[in-house]
Amino acid sequence: MNTSHSTKTAPIPVTLIPGDGIGPEVVDAARRLVDATGVPIAWEEAHAGASIFRKGIASGVPQETLDSISRTRLVLKGPLETPVGFGEKSANVTLRKLFETYGNIRPVRELPGVPTPYAGRGIDLVVVRENVEDLYAGIEHMQTPGVAQCLKIISRKGCEKIVRLAFEVARAEGRKMVHCATKANIMKFTEGLLKRTFEEIAPEYPEISAQHIIVDNCAHQLVRRPEQFSVIVTTNMNGDILSDLTSALVGGLGFAPSANIGSEVAIFEAVHGSAPKYAGKDVINPTAMILSGVLMLRHIGAHAEADTLENAVLFTFEEGRHRTRDFAGDAGSCGTRAFTDAILGNLGKTPQHTPARTRSKLVLPVTSTVVDMVRPTQREVVGIDVFVESPLQPEQLGQKVQAAAEGTAFGLKMISNRGTVVFPLTGTRTDVVDQHRCRFLSRNPALDVGNDEVGVLLSGLERQGLRWMHIEKLQAFDGRPAFTKAQGED
């Protein structure tokens, strides 16, 4: 077979992580087919996930795997098991974050012969998910024995990188619309930062229409009329949910590839999990992993070979002679290896009824290396929120907190519980827990509050027998408050 990469070309090193459960089977399928395209790959096998957790490595990723990825900067990875409900971090998230693969690209396309309620609608879209920030920053605390907190971290730099990546994906694939899906109507600073960044950058891509959409409406519209979407850019948690939803529109996670893109490292993997109950049974659909291999080939510039492999996959689906059990059922289905063999036999063939999408090279965005890239001309601390653990009812707690603030630089503005004002008393019936946010504002707005004054207030709370666990400075940037109000707060 003719390829654009000569066999004399130096082999391209790629870290190969077989993964857990069904991972080794689907990764082997993808590796066989990538090798069959003729692109010279030097595979470095490495490990992460369940076997590494069992060795007592809490990250699930050993140093030798990190060293391999640092050398190759390319990874083809099988699914990894993630502990649920106890301390170890997800090895998947660890890899994405350590190598700053900030963008998760998840293409979703209707495949011929795959029965779904949406067959014939021409679904062809890409979810571009921010991949390292948001709730996946993993900063959690038990603030009291019965109240947990998770910090949602969104940065201007992270927003700019993912927005630019989404527009570059659209440009490379000749797409004409990018939607930005956020919950900025509720989370005005975090989700709102993505919305504002999107609106600032969109004019740099005048040939592409840009539209903001509230994320719940986006989910609604994806189910109602998915063909209206082309590229959706969104935050990490929203993207996790929406991309699983979109994969269901075209048949399920077995058809969902993904690319984790960073400025230096790229990790290619199927969206689906490790499905341990099917491991070793030769029944799993390897399409998602194979198409992840296609994405990897495009990333390294092997566009002709990527098209050849993708066309073989599409031809196999059109032909309909080989189908795995997830879309054929038990009757008439074939196994993982037989399905892979069928695609292998169809290399060089072109589908007759599935239109090809012309693609150009994806240009990765270049963003500032400055750490504090957003610099206000004026900033001041106007107050503090102090989080207090107490079993007291709001009226009793309020009296103690007011007493603690006497003689300090602060006055108590309000106390909230689970985001709703409970003191001063509102006359409403709000259930409370033992974690309270006490908001104090400076008695002299003209003066910037210093750390010494904060210490005096905290000492006053302790003298009242109140346990505090966290403080947050209330800041104003360029004269605008940089904090939100509680429900019911004036």
Decide if 205 is catalytic. Answer: no
- Identified catalytic residue from 20, 134, 240, 307: 240
Quick check: 168 and 198 in contact, CB under 8 A?
no
Catalytic residue among 97, 157, 161, 183: 183
Catalytic pick from 176, 216, 361, 478? 216
Give the 3-state secondary structure of residue 477. Answer: strand
Please report, for residues 183, 247, 251, 353, 423, the alpha-carbon distance to residue 118 in angstroms, rounded to integers and kept in the order given: 27, 12, 9, 17, 52
**Quick check: is 183 catalytic?**
yes
C-alpha triplet 6, 10, 16: angle, nearest 5°: 105
Catalytic residue among 77, 136, 161, 400: 136
Kindly report the backbone phi and psi dihedral angles of residue 476, in degrees, each rounded to the nearest multiple of 5, phi listed first.
Answer: -125, 130
434 belongs to the catalytic site: no
Cα 413 from Cα 205, distance rounded (Å): 45
448 included as an active-site residue? no
- Cβ-contact 222, 126 below 8 angstroms: no
How far apart CA 469 and CA 475 sit, in angstroms, is 20
Sheet arrangement for strand 209-214: 41-45, 12-17, 74-77, 266-270, 257-261, 103-109, 124-130, 231-234, 177-182, 209-214
Strand-by-strand arrangement of the 480-481 sheet: 420-423, 410-417, 435-442, 379-389, 467-477, 480-481
Q: What angle do CA 14, 96, 276 make, to 5 degrees?
A: 80
Alpha-carbon gap, residue 295 to 77, rounded angstroms: 13
Helix (H) or strand (E) segment spanning residue 71: helix 63-72
Asked if 368 and 315 touch (Cβ cutoff 8 Å), the reply is no
Q: How many residues are listed for the chain in this entry?
A: 490
Q: Can you give the C-alpha Rg of the chain in angstroms?
A: 26
Tokens encoding 299: 């990333």
Q: Which residues are catalytic?
A: 136, 183, 216, 240
